[in-house]
Each structure stands twice: as C-alpha cells, then as structure tokens.
Structure 1
C-alpha cells in the first residue's frame, strides 16, 4: 500500500486525508464520505451516518486513527478499548463494525455477540472463558443483556469472567491487547449486572463513549 490515506471500495478510491510520507493528516469530512459509502456496501442502501451522530463518530474516528491531541481533548485514552453505549437501535453495532475499516493497517477486532459467548459456555463450560481470554482483539456486542451462564448446575456470570480475563491480559500486555464492547446499559445497570469488581476493571479497560439517551432508533 503506497498511500495508506487512500482506500478503494467497489472500484472507487476514497482519500481519508493527506499522506506526507510519514503520517496521515486525516480529514473528517472525507472520512464521513468513505464511511457512508462503506456503510451502504456493508449494511444496504438505507445506511447513512446521521448529522446528530457526527460528534460521536468524530470521537470514535479520532480514537481509531490515534489522533492523540483530539483524544486528549475528549478525555479518551488511545491505549484503552471503547465501550460504546446508547439506547437500542441507535447504531452502535453498525458503527463498531464499520469504523475498523478506516484503519486497514491496524489489527482488526472480531465482533462477538455476548449471547454467543454465554451459549458457548453452556455447552463447553470454562473452556469458553479461557478461549476469550486469548490475545485476539474482540468487540463484545450487546453487553449486559445476555442470558445467565449455566454449566452442569453451576451458574456463572460468563461475560463478567471474560471481562476479568481480558483485563488481566490488558495489564500483562501493557495495553497491547484491545477489548471493545457495545451496551444498552448505563454505568449503574452494568454494576448491578456484573458487580463492583468487574465494573471497576471496566473503567480501566474501556473509554466510555455514549450516545445521547434520546438517540433515535434507526431501525424503525
């Protein structure tokens, strides 16, 4: 890739900014044009980034392109993962699926629905927790609404355990192993669901980026 500021999709070249041979000076309006085009390819023609969501998208773009100055202004630590919260249908999952495409040279993360993690635990037991405690990058989708885990009569808050493993990994690798998540729950609800210990680890693991409580349901 000669010019990492350019991405080709469906035969069209998109410039995300200017490349001076060392680094890319990103241009947010150009990134938006690309994201709208890529979003349509991924999710269908109805996809668009809404004006009222641009501030959140900008924050997330700054994080993904590692714009240290703007991250600092927004209180975002580029070494931590992202916990994207907001009401049902506001577009969290689509954004997390989409934004990894603006940095094709960075290591991608897998999107994993939290309920799949629990179902896997119910079949395979603790092996599941070990598997997700590995060095892959993940974005756990829909955190907090997954069913409770149960394996041979033992109940387990599976995602709570997975997050604790991911935190250990984050500490061991000095922040090199990234974990992201999306959730419809607020901080109090998350604490209620996972307990105080997991909640405090989550603060160290994630930057919280939140949609407005009144964000509209895009699926209607």
Structure 2
C-alpha cells in the first residue's frame, strides 16, 4: 500500500485511482470508487459479482462513511465516529459489502467480519471466555446479528451477542473503538431479541444504513 497516496489501490498489476490528491486532501470520485468495488468484488467473490444500479444510494452512503467525508455524511445523518448497522432483506448483499468496503480504505484500522452464529457456537463450547474475546480492542463486524441461536454453556443460557454488544459499547465510550454489524431484522425485532437496554446502546453505537425492504435476493 502507498501511504503517500492512499487513494491509489494496487490489485495485482493494476492501479485503481479512487480520486485525486489536492495538496493533502483526497478528492474521491464516486464513479471511480464503484469501478474499483466492482473489480475487487469479482476478485473476492467470483466473476458473477456485480454492482447493482438500484444499490447506488446505499453504496454512496457507505462510500462517504468509509472515506470519512464528515460534511456529506452529516447531510445523511451519518456520524463517521460511530459504527455501521447495515440492515436489509436476506441476500441483498450486506455481508459482501462489509467484506468489500474495508479494502477501499487500507490506511484505516481493519475490522474482521465474523458470523454471529459462530460466536455463539464458540460460547457453547468455551463459555464466557468468548464474551471477553470479543470485548477486546480489535475491530469487528458481527454478521447476521439477531438470527443466531441462544447460547448455552453447561446448561446455563446466555444472550451471547447482547452481552458482547454491551462490552463493545463500553469500548466505544471509553476508547472510541467502532463495531459494525449486519442484520436482517428491523429495530423492533432487534429490541425483542436483545431487550431495551441493548437496543438503547445500539442507537449510540451504530449508524443505521438500510436497504429497501423490497430489495431482491441477489443469490438467486
């Protein structure tokens, strides 16, 4: 990676310029960002990956967030210092986009995308150590939040992801450490799943960016 030109990303022998450098300021070009995301998406997920025209608004908001364009983010009610809660129907592309966008800003702190159900399976096997493991100073994106099973360790039930979100909230308030999530659930369903206390913390942890409810399943 070229730290002097973080807007230029090299994939193999190809350089992708996501914008231009004016002094110390990068002026990003949305069309060039889309071109890069399409190319990187095909490298990550195969030739069938594509950028859909109907997703342009979502992609624009995500681009503004990841390049930390505070002024334009403010117009959309997005706080660049908070994490993302990307919601939408099954198969709309949430997970792929969260895996993809981190490559667009290699100079920023990376995050790991972890399926929520895998974390619960880890809890069932290892117990409360898992909650501590994900309440540490790493950055994560918890994928498919809300559809994971209830955790059970030695017969004792635990709302594992709810507990982890409370830990992540403390990390955010004390150290400004971001957490991201994807979910198929709406706000009321999340509150039903995790309770009012966790839902209240989630409002402070996350910017909500949502696909339209009618977005089709791209995996079909």
TM-score, normalization by structure 1: 0.98
Query: Matches of 1:149 and 1:124 in 2, distance apart?
Result: 11
Name stretches of at least 5 consecutive residues in structure 1 with no aligned partner. Answer: none
2:60 aligned with 1:58: yes
Q: Kindly state the Cα deviation for residue 136 of structure 1 after the two structures are TM-superposed.
A: 0.2
Secondary structure at the aligned position of 2:37 is classed as helix
Q: Flag as ranges the 4+ runs of structure 1 deviating above 4 A.
A: none
Query: Matches of 1:95 and 1:153 in 2, distance apart?
Result: 37
Within the candidate set 116, 119, 122, 1:114 is matched to 116
Q: Kindly state the Cα deviation for residue 8 of structure 1 after the two structures are TM-superposed.
A: 1.1
Q: Residue in 1 aligned with 2:81? A: 79
1:195-210 maps to which residues of 2 (within 5 A)?
A: 195-210=195-210
Query: Matches of 1:11 and 1:157 in 2, distance apart?
Result: 47
Query: Matches of 1:83 and 1:34 in 2, distance apart?
Result: 23
Please give the per-residue CA displacement for 1:24-66, whole angstroms capped at 9, x wherever unaligned: 1111000000000000000000101100001001100100000
Q: Kindly state the Cα deviation for residue 21 of structure 1 after the two structures are TM-superposed.
A: 3.7
Q: Residue in 2 aligned with 1:105? A: 107
Within the candidate set 70, 73, 88, 2:72 is matched to 70
Query: Matches of 1:77 and 1:12 in 2, distance apart?
Result: 33
Query: Matches of 2:38 and 2:12 in 1, distance apart?
Result: 13
Name stretches of at least 5 consecutive residues in structure 2 with no aligned partner. Answer: none
Query: Matches of 2:33 and 2:86 in 1, distance apart?
Result: 20
Query: Matches of 1:135 and 1:21 in 2, distance apart?
Result: 33
Query: Matches of 2:12 and 2:41 in 1, distance apart?
Result: 12
Q: Residue in 2 aligned with 1:31? A: 33
Q: Residue in 2 aligned with 1:171? A: 173
Q: Residue in 1 aligned with 2:13? A: 11
Secondary structure at the aligned position of 1:143 is classed as coil
Query: Matches of 2:41 and 2:23 in 1, distance apart?
Result: 28
Secondary structure at the aligned position of 2:144 is classed as strand
Q: Kindly state the Cα deviation for residue 10 of structure 1 after the two structures are TM-superposed.
A: 2.4
Compute the RMSD of aligned alpha carbons.
Answer: 0.7
Secondary structure at the aligned position of 2:15 is classed as strand
Please give the per-residue CA displacement for 1:79-119, whole angstroms capped at 9, x wherever unaligned: 10000000000000000000001101001000000001101
Count of residue pairs the alignment pairs up: 218
Q: Residue in 1 aligned with 2:216? A: 216
Secondary structure at the aligned position of 1:47 is classed as coil
Q: Kindly state the Cα deviation for residue 16 of structure 1 after the two structures are TM-superposed.
A: 0.2
